[in-house]
């Protein structure tokens, strides 16, 4: 599965930093754009309700969203950038 830079968010697409949006191990809510080829699906998180829904901190704790672009470790209070899914 793949999420291309242009499919991470709807605005300022040229400023998207993939490492500041998602990290390996993150659980994301995404929309399937197309089935691509036999090896990949193309995903989008370009809507407010799409993005990271769960992430682990370096300390091993489940992080808490504090804004649409940051999550915080409850153990260390360290923040990390993410493209956070809007929680309703």
What pLDDT, in 10s, does the model give residues 13-40? 555 566 678 888 999 898 988 776 777 7
Q: What is the tally of structural domains in the chain? A: 1
Q: Classify residue 87: in a domain, yes or no.
A: no
Q: What are 44-87's pLDDT values in tens digits?
A: 888 899 999 999 999 999 999 999 999 999 999 999 999 999 97
CATH of the domain at 39: 2.40.50.140
What does the pLDDT read at residue 46? 84
What does the pLDDT read at residue 35? 76
Q: Which residue, 49, 44, 58, 42, is CA-closest to 13?
A: 44
What is the DSSP code string of the chain?
-EE-GGGT-SS-GGG--HHHH--TT-EEE-EEEE--STT--EEE--STT-EEEE-B-TTSPBPEEEETTEEE-TTT--EEE--BPPP-
Range of the domain at 34: 2-81
């Amino acid at each position: 599965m793949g999420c291309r830079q242009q499919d991470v968010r709807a605005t300022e697409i040229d400023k998207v930093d993939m490492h500041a949006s998602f990290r390996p191990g993150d659980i994301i809510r995404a929309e399937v754009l197309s089935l691509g080829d036999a090896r990949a699906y193309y995903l989008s998180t370009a809507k407010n309700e799409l993005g990271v829904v769960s992430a682990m901190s370096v300390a091993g704790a489940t992080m808490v969203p504090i804004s649409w672009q940051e999550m915080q470790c409850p153990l260390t209070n360290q923040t990390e950038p993410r493209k956070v899914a809007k929680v309703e």
